[in-house]
Structures are given as structure tokens and as C-alpha cells.
Amino acid sequence: MTSEFPHTPPRKSYTFSDAANAEIRRAAASGIYDIRGGGTKRYLPHFDDLLFLGASISRYPLEGYREKCSTDVWLGTRFAKNPIHLDIPVTIAGMSFGALSGPAKEALGRGASAAGTSTTTGDGGMTEEERGHSKTLVYQYLPSRYGMNPDDLRRADAIEVVVGQGAKPGGGGMLLGQKISDRVAMMRNLPKGIDQRSACRHPDWTGPDDLEIKILELREITDWEKPIYVKIGGARPYYDTALAVKAGADVVVLDGMQGGTAATQDVFIEHVGQPILACIPLAVKALQDLGMHRKVQLIVSGGIRTGADVAKAMALGADAVAIGTAALVALGDNDPVFEAEYQKLGTTAGAYDDWHEGKDPAGITTQDPELYNRFDPVLGGRRLKNYLKVMTLEAQTIARACGKNHLHNLEPEDLCALTMEAAAMARVPLAGTDWYPGKNGF
Ligand SMILES: Cc1cc2nc3c(=O)[nH]c(=O)nc-3n(C[C@H](O)[C@H](O)[C@H](O)COP(=O)(O)O)c2cc1C
């Protein structure tokens, strides 16, 4: 029966949004879950929700053109005979050869070395492109053992035992058959063209005591020379940091939920883990409770894009940060110059995340020679160096404005939070107050 009154306008459900319905239809049509690269795409509390207070009368700023603000960092000072000294506290995170092309690895090495920082291998082992162009190279020791080689352990400057990643704590990665070229297959000792899943846990340990034994083994193989990092995803950062320290780590690498990945299930990226903002204070608390803050260094990652992000992470207590996605963007990933080709792949610049398919028009996340030969590693390295330099200058500008003569002197007291969530997670006061949720038990 029609009513004499106007109809209620059509309303779409917030819960069953267009995106949610499209995913239901995609799943119904294909019968497989969505796999993609990159980090979480939903809104999460992040560094943007914090602000620096800056100096005025009660704090005295430093003069940019005359007064020094240092940016260097030592990593691995606890046990290693040869700790690492970097000019800047922004490092390049582990990204696998396989996910990335050889020329992309070379560009990471070139850019990082020119900027005075380190690069990191990844699942799939050490390439000559990266070793040859990286002044300081961290070698990942992963659950998968893909590309693991004891000689390469000795050729590295530090070793990173990967327990987990922020994009998928508790899970393993994927490298689909399209990207398993002859070379990738040879390095991983697995068949060409067949999908590979990386293990979610190390095959030879079942808990923290085994981690301690493994770290001792790695120290012996490398004659106690190299710093040993332990990388954890942002799951239970207080206990995981404490256990890594107990197991003998020189450095803890903490990767929050925003952290990128080469490829895994979308449901994992979007629904497992904790934002990096929530993880840092818990890891710092664990280090402080053990009397190890600044003795065991903390590197944090997950969605870091600017010098402001770097400065905020350091003000919360990190010694350094690592970047993955931002480094790829600096090299040329998702650049609008490739828009016509992104459109052919059914996507658009800024949204391209099918890195597992190996069709990257920028030649970065591919093993197809036609595509990766488009990428110029010298130019890519220069772009990365410029970007790292800008991030460092930005962080220094902020530190000076807070009256600090070293980035490490930034502290939570320099910050305020814009939202209740950020205040609660970062444990810094809500703007305009001296309070954050949880302070004094309230
Ligand atoms: C293309 C790509 C490949 C990656 N491969 C690895 C890997 O092999 N091992 C690992 O521990 N993490 C890997 N990661 C995660 C990064 O090391 C790092 O934790 C993450 O990228 C940090 O977050 P961000 O991308 O927001 O900077 C990868 C990330 C990307 C984007």
C-alpha cells in the first residue's frame, strides 16, 4: 500500500557498506580469501594524533643555524664486540628478495649507505646487489630459513632474528608462484613457479628458552662480533620485549600493526595486532622495569612516513625507527606517473597493493626482467637518500624547537595527545590537560 507521506530516502548500512558487500561478492565468486601487500588501510590511532609542545619561556629552544642537534645512534652495545654506529636513526626494514627485485635491493643499499644508515635482508636471503651496495647490512634469520646461509651470517654487520611482523603477528608470509623465478627458487632452495608460504614460527624452538639457545648459537657462529636483534610483531609488547631481553637480544625491533608486508591475507593485516602507538610505551616500560632502557636498543616501525613520526617515536622512548613502505614509495612505488598502467591492472596510484602478482609497473615488487629493468637503481638510491635526509632534517627541526641537542633527548614530556585514544595508548596528556586515561589508576 502506498502512503500519502514521502518515502524515507534510501539508506545504506554502515555495517554492510559498499566495500563490505563488494568483499562478500568477491569471496562468493572466487572461494578464496584476499591476499595483498602493504599495511592496514583502516583508520587507526597513530603518530598524527600526537603533537609536540615546543619551547617558549619554561623551555629554551636551540638555534637551528648555530646550535648542534645530533642524530647518530649506536645499536648493539650490550654484548656485541662490534656494535653498529649509524649517522641517522632511520633504518631500512627487512624486505625480502623475491618480494623485491634485485635492482630495488641495490637501490635500498645505495640510498641507505649514502644517508649513513643500514639496510636489512629478508625472507629469501642475501643478494650481492644489496650486500655490495650496503655499508651496513642486517641479515635476517627467519622462521622460513629461506635463503639462510651460515657464510652470509658472517658477511653481515648484524643479525636480526625474526619472531614476527606487525602486519601478521602469529602468521607467515606468502610468495606466490608468479614471482618464483629461477634465481628466487635457487636462493630459497624450493621449486620454481610454486606458491610458497613462509613458516609462522621457527622450526626448532617452542619458547623463550629455545630463543636463548638460538641466540647463543648465532653469537658463536659469528664470534660474538655482530649485534643480535630480535624482531617482534605488536602482539604483547611488554612481555615479548622482556622475553627478548632475557633471551640475550642486543636490540629489540618492534613492528606495529600498521607495518607493511609483501603479501598476506587482508583479514590478517586488518584484524590482528596492535597499533605501534600502543606498543611503544609498553616495550619501553619493559626495558625500564629491567633496567635496560638505552642499554638494549629499541627500533620501532609501522607506518612511519615523516621526520615528525620519527621524532614522536623517539620521544616515546625508541632509539631508532625502521621504514619499509615509505622507502618503496621513495624509490617510485605507487607513483602517479604509472597511472595508465595501474588502471590496466584494475587499480590506481596510491592503492596498488597486489605486490604478490609481480606485475609492478615501477619495477620494484617484481621478478619480471622486462619490468625490473625499467627501474634505475642509481636514481632510486638517490631518491631514497634525499628522502632520508629530509626526514632527519625534519626530526632535528622539531628536536631543536623542544630545546634538545640530540634526537635521543626527546621525551614523552615534549608531547601532548589530540584524542583520548592516543592519550591512553601513548600515555601522554590529552592536549590542554595534565591527564591521560589510566594515569594514577584512573
Ligand atoms: C615488500 C615488503 C617485504 C617485506 N618483507 C619482510 C621480510 O622478508 N621479513 C620481515 O621481517 N619483514 C618484512 N617486511 C616488513 C618490514 O620489515 C617492516 O616490518 C614493515 O614494512 C614496517 O612497516 P612500514 O612498511 O609501514 O614502514 C616486508 C615489508 C614489505 C613492505
Sorted by sequence, the CB contacts under 8 Å of residue 260 that are 6+ apart come out as: 37, 38, 39, 167, 324, 325, 328
**Helix residue ranges per DSSP H, 44-159:** 102-115, 128-133, 150-155
Cα angle, residue 233 at apex, residues 160 and 426 outer, rounded to 5°:
120
Instruction: With cut-offs at 50, 70 and 90, classify the pLDDT of residue 77.
Output: very high
Q: What is the pLDDT of residues 223-236, one digit of tens each?
A: 999 999 999 999 99
Question: Which atom of ligand 1 is the closest one to the Cα of 38?
Answer: 31
What is the average pLDDT score of the chain?
Answer: 95
pLDDT of residue 178: 86
CA of 293 to the centre of ligand 1 (A): 25
Nearest atom within ligand 1 for CA of residue 160? 11
> Which range, of 112-121, 146-155, 160-169, 412-421, averages the lowest pLDDT?
146-155
Mean pLDDT of all residues in 271-277: 98
Domains of the chain, earliest start first = 58-331+376-413 (3.20.20.70)
Amino acid identity at 86: L
Cell of 3: 502512503
Sign of CA dihedral 305, 306, 307, 309: negative
Mean pLDDT of 70-85: 98
- Name residues contacting ligand 1 (CB within 6 A): 37, 39, 93-96, 99-100, 122-123, 140, 162, 165-166, 231, 255, 258-262, 301-304, 323-326, 355, 365
Distance CA 113, CA 211 (A): 31
Question: Which 3 state secondary structure label does DSSP give 82?
Answer: coil
Task: For residue 278, give the nearest of 251, 254, 298, 295 by alpha carbon.
Answer: 254
Separation CA 247–CA 255 (nearest Å): 19
Residue of 235, 247, 225 whose CA lies nearest to 139: 225
Does residue 277 carry a pLDDT above 60? yes
The pLDDT value given to residue 4: 80
CA–centroid distance, residue 259 to ligand 1 (Å)? 7
Residue 442 — very low, low, confident or very high, per pLDDT cuts 50/70/90? low
Strands 158-162 and 228-233 turn out to be: parallel
